[in-house]
Amino acid sequence: MAKPILYSYFRSSASWRVRIALAYKGIDYDYKAVHLVKDGGEQHSDAYRELNPLSQVPTLVIDGLTLTQSLPIIEYLEETRPESPLLPKDPAARAQTRRVAEAINSGIQPFQNLSTLNMVSEITGSEDKKTEWAKHFVAKGLRGVEDILKKTSGKFCIGDSVTMADVCLIPQLHHARRFGVDMAGFPIATRIEAECAKLEAFQKAHASKQPDCPEAS
């Protein structure tokens, strides 16, 4: 069977989630970079829109399928490759995992999305307003996530095992720092981040380790 292909941008949090999941499950794949800024954004090309009609990353080609949207991709990997699980067996823990994942995926990330920030800049006529906007909403969302983690976390977001919640949290914390969020208010999240940073899958998936990262090493 053909090796999976991941269409990704190094700094995209959604792509980052899928990279973590692939690495955690030990799935080898080919990496194809899609630059979201160069020449107006390679994601808008006709060829790429054939793969992903929303002109977004990531896109994963696997098992003869073309999959988009990070959480459905991770769910597919979980269902077809259950080794090194990212969803707990217990239904309550599973629901809490999805709760944290969606709090980030739906409740925070869209506010910092490139297309959203570009529209903020266009409407306000100010580049500075983009960072102000993102900082406000990312910090607000993380305060909610931190409160959830007070009740669900152990070593990781949901107890003592890595789950899809951790996969979503780590890229989001990276972007929080990019937008100047004061991380002192999130001791549980940053403690979990430190635990995840010890794991090879999270190290391999980091933005700085991707071939399209300008500072890749």
Q: Which of 110, 142, 112, 106 is nearest to 130 (CA)?
A: 112
pLDDT at 170 over 80: yes
Burial tier of 159 (Cβ tally within 10 Å: 0-12, 13-18, 19+): middle
pTM of this structure: 0.95
Rounded CA-CA distance 36/114 in Å is: 8
- The 10s digit of each residue's pLDDT in 16-43 is 999 999 999 999 999 999 999 888 899 9
User: What does residue 4 show for φ and ψ, rounded to 5 degrees?
Assistant: -60, 150
Rounded CA-CA distance 108/11 in Å is: 16
Contact (CB, 8 A) for 176 and 182:
no
- The 10s digit of each residue's pLDDT in 61-110 is 999 999 999 999 999 999 999 999 999 999 999 999 999 999 999 999 99
Measured between alpha carbons, how far is residue 153 from residues 67, 95, 165 in Å? 30, 14, 10
